[in-house]
Copies of this chain bind each other. A is one copy, B any other.
């Protein structure tokens, strides 16, 4: 607060009032945007009939509303938030596609409060589009079994601990102080409970709906750099195969969901650079060991076909300790910088602005 406040009356001096500017919140530098907003893409209008009327008490104590649930519903749209920089370093925007059990929030701020990859790539000068896959977050979900393929599945903390490779299955405890992460883990283990706040339920059998919305997003973007994590990688590969001319580059971080992709089929249409990023302890968890094999086969097939594919194996590059969530690990900025360096190497963005 300084003397530029209005002088007609002093600002209210409330107990507890404090300036909005605090501490080191400008660390990392200013982000100048020309636009911040969102849209929904994909999905369609579907209809229900034959259901009995429903009574809803929208707020306690208010009069109930009788609602006929038969009618039209929006099913399967996908929420996309964009932040467009004032002076971009690339003609192509960066799309960040999250993994299973998560939403676009995984890209925003790390569970221990550091700026996430959204901020990193904005500060580098890329327009960044963060989406929530269908079923999740601000994309919402639809009735089942009428529209969705199953009831939702809720992931307990211990499953996240194991599947996201924070630590061995047996070393999870509901008591934070008793948890033992992998030795040398770079995940901010003290913030594990905080991380699980951002987890959301998942369904089975909605893959076609999810895929359609991703395809629609790529169509709308015209051409983009796609960076996809875990389950999101499978959708990114499928979208890229359907519209390879719309992909400027593909970055797969700890990819899952590749089992359904035929390496030779993908290689035949992969005219863009492909980078696959892996953390540590991949071979120790059977699900990820299998996923790694599928990704390696993909890279080999693209290379054999004369394409441009490479793997960034972080431990092999001298960076051990990353979990399945490198965008949250303590060295998240370092991993992002390696991805950015690769984008610059491929002439997809520039140190100067266009």
Contact = CB atoms under 8 A, between A and B. Distances in A.
B108 A20 contact: no
A61 interface: yes
A223 B35 contact: no
User: How many protomers of this protein does the assembly include?
Assistant: 2
A245 B17 CA distance: 8
A303 interface: no
Contact of A259 (B17, B32, B62): B62
Interface residues of A, number: 133
A156 B68 contact: yes
A4 B347 CA distance: 12
B248 A10 contact: no
A178 interface: no
Given A108-B38, A143-B154, A354-B4, A18 B60 contact: no
Q: Top 10 closest A-B pairs, CB basis?
A: A37-B109, A61-B259, A71-B156, A40-B197, A59-B257, A77-B197, A140-B200, A4-B352, A17-B223, A38-B108
Given A17-B248, A142-B154, 20 more contacts: A1-B354, A10-B347, A11-B91, A17-B223, A26-B34, A31-B32, A33-B33, A39-B113, A59-B256, A59-B260, A61-B260, A65-B163, A73-B156, A74-B157, A74-B193, A77-B197, A103-B138, A140-B199, A140-B201, A141-B152
26 contacts: A1-B91, A4-B354, A8-B347, A12-B272, A14-B247, A14-B271, A19-B354, A20-B93, A31-B32, A37-B108, A37-B115, A37-B119, A38-B105, A56-B202, A59-B257, A60-B207, A63-B286, A68-B156, A68-B158, A71-B158, A74-B196, A77-B197, A138-B138, A140-B199, A141-B200, A142-B154
